[in-house]
Amino acid sequence: MKYNRLIFSTKNQGKLEQVRNLLIINNVEGIDIISEKDVGFLDEVIEDGKTFEENSEKKARTLYNYCIENNINLDNTVIFADDSGLCIDKLDGAPGIYSARFAGEGATDDEKREEIMNVMKEYETTEDRSASFVTVMTGILPNGEKIVSRGECKGSVTKEIGKTFSKLTYNPIFVPAGFEKPISEMNEEEFKLVPHHREMALMGLIRQIL
């Protein structure tokens, strides 16, 4: 194994635990994952890129530079970050990189979902409501080299907002291809069958560093 430590550029403990669990599910052993807080990085990185790739690289590169400047040992270590969002075909990929603030700064999850419903109300068919959940992960190797992986789950936007059991903003309005209900209404067994965009991106990254 070339690398046995990952530093995840995130302050989201839930996302960190999700990535750890995904490695377990995929039988990846011998890799320790820590977060940026574990190396003392507390700054907020402004995501001002034009693509998922640009945003994920900026976050990973900023953390990498911090580690270099502070003499943090990066032997056998990959620093990585992700950026993700919902991309709707009829909206030219929007909300995309603006998924978190599509309805304006400070909008609630309910308001974000309602905004999507409003802009999509003229489109009736599943084909016209086609969309994808996308995650891009960028890793920075100890020598500064960049590696990139992308995961995508195709599907469509619902006509009505589903039950909001999920903590994830757009799960109640997204139906994966081959399914008939939004992700938020799926039971555990159904959810296991859904191609997971973050998992695909993560495993694509892992395959490049093993």
In contact, 176 and 200? CB cutoff 8 Å: no
200 φ, ψ to 5°?
A: -65, -45
83 noted as active-site residue:
yes
Cα(93)–Cα(47) distance, rounded to whole angstroms?
17
Task: Select from 163, 133, 166, 170 the least CA-distant residue to 150.
Answer: 133
Q: How far apart are CA 98 and CA 85, in angstroms?
A: 8
Distance between CA atoms of 159 and 196, rounded to whole angstroms?
22
Q: Which pairing describes strands 77-88 and 130-140: parallel, antiparallel, or unpaired?
A: antiparallel
Catalytically annotated residue among 38, 75, 82, 83: 83
Q: How crowded is residue 90: how many other Cβ atoms within 10 Å of its Cβ?
A: 16
Catalytic residue set: 83
